Amino acid sequence: MREALVNFALIALLPLVALGAQAAGETYVVTLAAKAAILALAGVGLNLALGVGGMVSLGHAAFFGIGGYAAGIAAHHVFAGTPVIGWPVTLEATDQMPLIWLAGVLAAGLAAAAIGAVSLRTQGVHFIMITLAFAQMVYYLGVSWKTYGGEDGLPIYLRNQFPGLDTGDGMQFFALAYACLLAGVALVWQVARSRFGQALAMARMNEARLAASGISPYPVRLVGFVLSGMVVALAGALFADLNGFAGPSMLSWHRSGEIMVLVILGGVGRLCGPLAGAMLFVALETLLGGLTDRWQLFLGLVLLGVVLFARGGLMGMLAGRARHG
Amino acid sequence: MAEPVLSLRGLSKSFGALKATDDVSLDLRAGEIHALIGPNGAGKSTLIGQIAGTIRADAGEVWLAGREITGHSVAARARAGLARSFQVSSLAMEIPARVNVRLAAQGRAGGSYRLWGSAARDAALAAAADAALVRVGLSARADIPVAELSHGERRLAEMACALALAPRAFLLDEPMAGLGGEGTARLTDLLADLRHEAPILLVEHDMDAVFRLADRISVLVYGRVILTGTPDEIRASQAVREAYLGEEA
C-alpha cells in the first residue's frame, strides 16, 4: 500500500517537474526531466533481468546502444537521402520513431537472445564478466564501423518524428519519453505478475525449486533477458534522439554500470525504483557536475551510503521493505 | 504383476576409480513405499541424483510410467511425474509457502511463458495449491514467508509442492532428517497415506520410520543393492546385519 503511494508520487513527480520548469522558462530542466525518464526506462528494463530474474548483467549497454544506433542510422540516412540497404533489396530510411523503435527493439532482442544464450550457461561472477565481454565486442564493432562514424559516432541533426507530435519541442519530446516510461513500467509490472514472471522470480530465488516444479530455469531466464534487453533498447533509441547523437559511448561498459547504478540507487527489484534512482542520478549529475568535474566521486559516495545503510535503495527508505509474492 | 511405476535398470556411475553406483536395478510398484537404506558412503545421494536428473548415469536406464527418462533434465522429469523432496529443504525462503506450492501447480498446469494475467489471481492454480496445503495440514501457516516457518513446517511445505505436481511417483530424500518426535510422527502419517496416490521411493536414515512405513526395503552397500525384500526379510538377513548394521558375524 505504502509502496503504491510512493510509486504514484514518483510517477507524478517527473511531469510536475517538467511542467514547472516549462512554466518558468527553464527549458534545460525539461530536457533533464526527459533524460531522467529515459534513463529510468532503461533501469526499468534492466530491473526485469536484475531485480526479477536475478541476472546481474553488465552488458545491457549493448542493447541500449543498439537502440541508439537504430535511431542514429535512420536519421543519418534520412538526412543524406540514401537508403539503409541498397542491395539486394532497397530499404528506404524512415524518420518515423515507431518504425525505428520496432527495428531497434527487434535487433536488440536478437542480440540479447544470442548473448543470453551463451552467457546464461554461466552464473555469478562468470555471468557478469561474460555479459561485459559481449557488450565490449559490440562496442568495438561500433568503434570500427566507419560507415556510421566509427569512434566519432553519428550526429542526429534532426530528431526523428513521431506521428502527431513535434519532437523538436522539448516538452513534447518529454511527454513522449514519459509515455514510453509509463508503458515500460506497465509492461514490467504485468510481466512480473504473470505466470512467466513467477517462474522468472523463482529462477532468482531458488533455481532447484523451479526445476523441481517442472520448469526449466535456462529458457525462462533467456526469455527474461531478451525482454529486458528490448525495453532497454527503446530507452537507447530515445536517448539518441534526446542528445542528437548515437555513438560508441552508448555501448560502453560505463553505460551498463550507470544503468545498474541507478537501479541499485532506486532499489533492486522495486517497480519504480529506477525512477527514483534516475531522478537522483540526473539531479546529482546536474548539481554536482556544475561544481566539479569529479562529480562521480560524490555519486560513488552516495551509492556507497545507499548500499551500506539503505538496504533496498531509495525505495527501501521511502516505502519500507519489499513485499514479495 | 503390473508394470512398475519407476524402474531403475542397471544404473552405474563412477567417479574415477570409485564405483558410486554399481549396476543398480530397482522397481517402485504402484501403491508401495519402497525404502532405500544404506550406511554413509553407500552411494545413496549419487543414486538419487541419477533418478532426479542432477547426475548423469554412466550406464543404465531410468523409466517412469513406461517412458524412458534417462536423458531428461530435472524439469522434464518433474513434468513426466517425478516429484522430489530435498535432503535440505529447498524452497524460496522470502515468499510464503503458498506461492512456492502455487509454482509447482503452475509447473503441472503449464503456461509458464504466459505473459498476461496474474498468477496470484489464477483460480485453478490457487485451488491446486490450496488442496495440497490442506492435505499436508499447513493451510494456517501458508501465508507467512517460508523463512519464518519451523523446520518441520518447511518439510510439509516441500511435501505440498511435491503433491501439487500431481506426480506419478515421489522421490523423498531423508524427509525425516532433523525432525523431532512430533514432526516425524506427523510426516509418517502423511507418507503412509500418500502411497495410495503415488508410490514413494524413500531414502531415510530413521530406521524406526523406515520399518514402520516401508512395504519393501532395498539395502545399498558400496554402490550395490545387496538385498531387496520386505522389512521382515531385511531384519532377518545376516548379510544386511553384517554390512549395514555393523554386527560381527
pLDDT tens per residue across all 325 residues of chain A: 789 999 999 999 999 999 999 999 999 999 999 999 999 999 999 999 999 999 999 999 999 999 999 999 999 999 999 999 988 888 999 999 999 999 999 999 999 999 999 999 999 999 999 999 999 999 999 999 999 999 999 999 999 999 999 999 999 999 999 999 999 999 999 999 999 999 999 999 999 999 999 999 999 999 999 999 999 999 999 999 999 999 999 999 999 999 999 999 999 999 999 999 999 999 999 999 888 888 889 889 999 998 888 878 999 999 887 755 4
- Cα(A109)–Cα(B46) distance, integer angstroms: 40
Per the CB < 8 Å rule, is B103 touching A325? no
Q: Structural domain boundaries of chain A?
A: 2-319
Q: What pLDDT, on the 0 to 100 scale, is given for residue A323?
A: 57
Least Cα separation, residue A48 to chain B (angstroms):
13
Per the CB < 8 Å rule, is B75 touching A215? yes
- Domain spanning B1-81+169-249, CATH class: alpha beta
Q: What is the predicted ipTM? A: 0.94
Check CB contact of B104 with chain A, cutoff 8 Å. yes
Strand partners, B228: B218
Residues of B in contact with A228 (CB under 8 A): none
Strand partners, B200: B33, B170
Whole-number Cα distances in Å, A45 to A119, A176, A262, A272: 18, 17, 12, 11
Q: Which of B48, B93, B103, B148 should we substitute to test contact with A (largest number of A Cβ atoms within 10 Å)?
A: B103
Check CB contact of B91 with chain A, cutoff 8 Å. yes
Least Cα separation, residue B117 to chain A (angstroms):
5
Q: What is the mean pLDDT of residues B73-90?
A: 95
Statement: residue B1 has pLDDT above 60: no
Check CB contact of B69 with chain A, cutoff 8 Å. no
Closest Cα in chain A to B98: A325
- Cα(A65)–Cα(B31) distance, integer angstroms: 59
Query: In this structure, what DSSP letter does residue A325 have?
Result: -
Q: Which of A189, A193, A195, A221 should we substitute to test contact with B (largest number of B Cβ atoms within 10 Å)?
A: A195
Check CB contact of B93 with chain A, cutoff 8 Å. yes
Q: Structural domain boundaries of chain B?
A: 1-81+169-249, 94-166
Out of B104, B113, B115, the one facing A213 most closely (by C-beta) is B104
Per the CB < 8 Å rule, is B74 touching A206? no
Least Cα separation, residue B239 to chain A (angstroms):
36
Residue pLDDT, tens place only, B4-38: 999 999 999 999 999 999 999 999 999 999 999 99
Closest Cα in chain B to A222: B113
Out of B86, B95, B122, the one facing A325 most closely (by C-beta) is B95
Whole-number Cα distances in Å, A159 to A74, A96, A227, A236: 10, 10, 26, 14
- Which residues of chain B from 181 to 240 reach within 8 Å of chain A, CB to CB? none
Q: What pLDDT, on the 0 to 100 scale, is given for residue A324?
A: 52
Per the CB < 8 Å rule, is A213 touching B74? no
Check CB contact of B117 with chain A, cutoff 8 Å. yes
To the nearest 10°, the Cα dihedral for B239, B243, B248, B249? 20
- Cα(A310)–Cα(B104) distance, integer angstroms: 34
Statement: residue B86 has pLDDT above 50: yes
Out of B100, B112, B116, the one facing A209 most closely (by C-beta) is B100
Residue at grid coordinates 536478437: A110
Q: What is the mean pLDDT of residues B86-100?
A: 95
Please give the CATH number for the structural domain made up of A2-319. 1.10.3470
- Cα(B199)–Cα(B65) distance, integer angstroms: 11
Q: Distance between the two ends of chain B, CA-based, in angstroms?
A: 36
Q: Which of A215, A222, A223, A227 should we substitute to test contact with B (largest number of B Cβ atoms within 10 Å)?
A: A215
Q: Give the A-side interface with B, CB within 8 Å.
A: 190-191, 193-199, 201-202, 205-206, 208-217, 220, 223, 324-325
Per the CB < 8 Å rule, is A196 touching B145? no
